Amino acid sequence: MLEVSVTKGGDEVAEKDIAEKTLEGYNDVFADIANVLLFNGRRLIKPDDLEDQTPNSSYKVDGKIHGQERDVAKAWRNGTIRLACIGTENQTRVDKLMPLRIIGYDGAEYRSQYDSKEPKYPVVTFVLYFGTNPKWDDEISLRDCLEIPEELKEYVNDYKVKIFSVAYLPKEKVEQFTSDFRIVADYFVQQRLTNDYVPNPQTIDHVKETLELLSVMGDDYRFIEAYNENKEKSAEGGIHTMSDALNTIIGRETEKAEKKGVDLMAKLVKILLAEKKYSDVEKASDDAEYRDKLLKEYKLVG
């Protein structure tokens, strides 16, 4: 069995935790991420071969037991045989001490096999980094975290962790994804390169979960607001693509702008009437340039 797990760092907020667990918890998304990033697009892991597995383990510090939890844990089975354990950590910030945490998760998984009579399987963990500044190195190791006396260097075992910076994935790698994670990766890559986003026509399978992830990891909650606005609509009128989501967002922003314009005009009219400038009221209503001039003059806009 290959056990694949997704774990978040403790420095991330709970809502990010939930959003990542939800989208990456789907077998099609989880298998897609592993196949593209670990196996260069080869479809070695089939969604139907994945099983949910408890993400919890524990460690002892100062005589006290502490719990630790991966975001998502999956078991990859080839029939009844365990092939390996693969884990992922999701980060929005660089954490140079990541190997110390990962070796704890992986060590707990190895220790759980010690008393088992089943064949032993390897554990591999990689990091999904959603940040852009700075770019995180492609690999980080336990030795990078330690101050090792020269005399001990040959005796200190290393532990390497592979890091995939989502926003820095090349176009050909993004195009290998077939699940909703392609939308996620494409969004972060475009945001880094152009600070803009042009959606592709791909249909979203897990709409709520994808928009939630984009909202919390991209710190742009308009995506989930668009979903909430459309969730009561029929299948024909709901969100099916990122274009649908953006159209909803544009509509909301337009309404806000129009309402703001009406409110500003109402304030301007109130001031002009109080000053008995009746002709200015009429002119401001008909002449946009003059209206903008008065709004600035009365410091209603910057």
Q: Is the torsion defined by CA of 240, 26, 162, 36 positive or negative?
A: negative
- Which pLDDT belongs to residue 85? 76
Question: What are the boundaries of each domain within the chain?
Answer: 2-205, 253-297
pTM here is 0.77
Q: Which of 225, 162, 209, 165 is nearest to 191 (CA)?
A: 165
Q: Which of 74, 71, 93, 92 is nearest to 35 (CA)?
A: 74
Q: Which of 138, 107, 139, 100 is nearest to 122 (CA)?
A: 107
Task: Tell me the C-alpha distance between 227 and 246, whole Å.
Answer: 10
Q: pLDDT truncated to tens, each residue of the chain (302 aa)?
A: 444 444 444 444 455 556 666 898 899 999 999 999 999 999 999 999 988 876 544 444 444 444 456 667 788 888 777 777 777 788 889 999 999 989 988 888 899 899 999 889 888 888 899 999 889 988 899 999 999 999 999 999 999 999 999 999 999 999 999 999 999 999 999 999 998 888 899 999 999 999 999 988 888 888 888 888 877 665 555 888 998 888 887 777 666 656 667 777 878 877 877 776 767 777 887 788 888 888 888 888 87
